[in-house]
């Protein structure tokens, strides 16, 4: 998801996407502990995506 796509989302959609990514990280960490996670970089990618979503969400809420 690119920044322009993120900026088009509503605050509710941003919050939902953040929640979804947090669940994804949880599942990645479970897989990592079990030794089943082959692509360990996905945790990092998801964390950065959450940061992007939170930044845009903050910008939208303070803009009003």
**Taking a C-beta distance cutoff of 8 angstroms, is the pair 14, 1 a contact?**
no
In the numeric block, which tokens belong to residue 58? Answer: 């903050």
Q: What is the pLDDT of residues 2-49, one digit of tens each?
A: 899 999 999 999 999 999 999 999 999 999 999 999 999 999 999 999
What pLDDT does 63 receive? Answer: 82
* Structural domain of 20: 3-63
Residues 6+ apart with CB under 8 A from 40: 32
Looking at residue 6, what is its pLDDT? 94
**Number of folded domains that form the chain:** 1
CB neighbour list of residue 39: distance below 8 Å, 6 or more residues apart: none
Predicted local distance difference test score (pLDDT) of residue 52: 97
Judge if pTM exceeds 0.85.
Answer: yes
């Amino acid at each position: 998801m690119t920044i322009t796509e993120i900026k088009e989302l509503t605050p509710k959609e941003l919050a939902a996407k953040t929640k979804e990514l947090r669940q994804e990280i949880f599942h990645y960490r479970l897989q990592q502990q079990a030794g089943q996670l082959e692509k360990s970089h996905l945790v990092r990618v998801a964390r950065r995506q959450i940061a992007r979503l939170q930044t845009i969400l903050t910008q939208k809420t303070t803009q009003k």
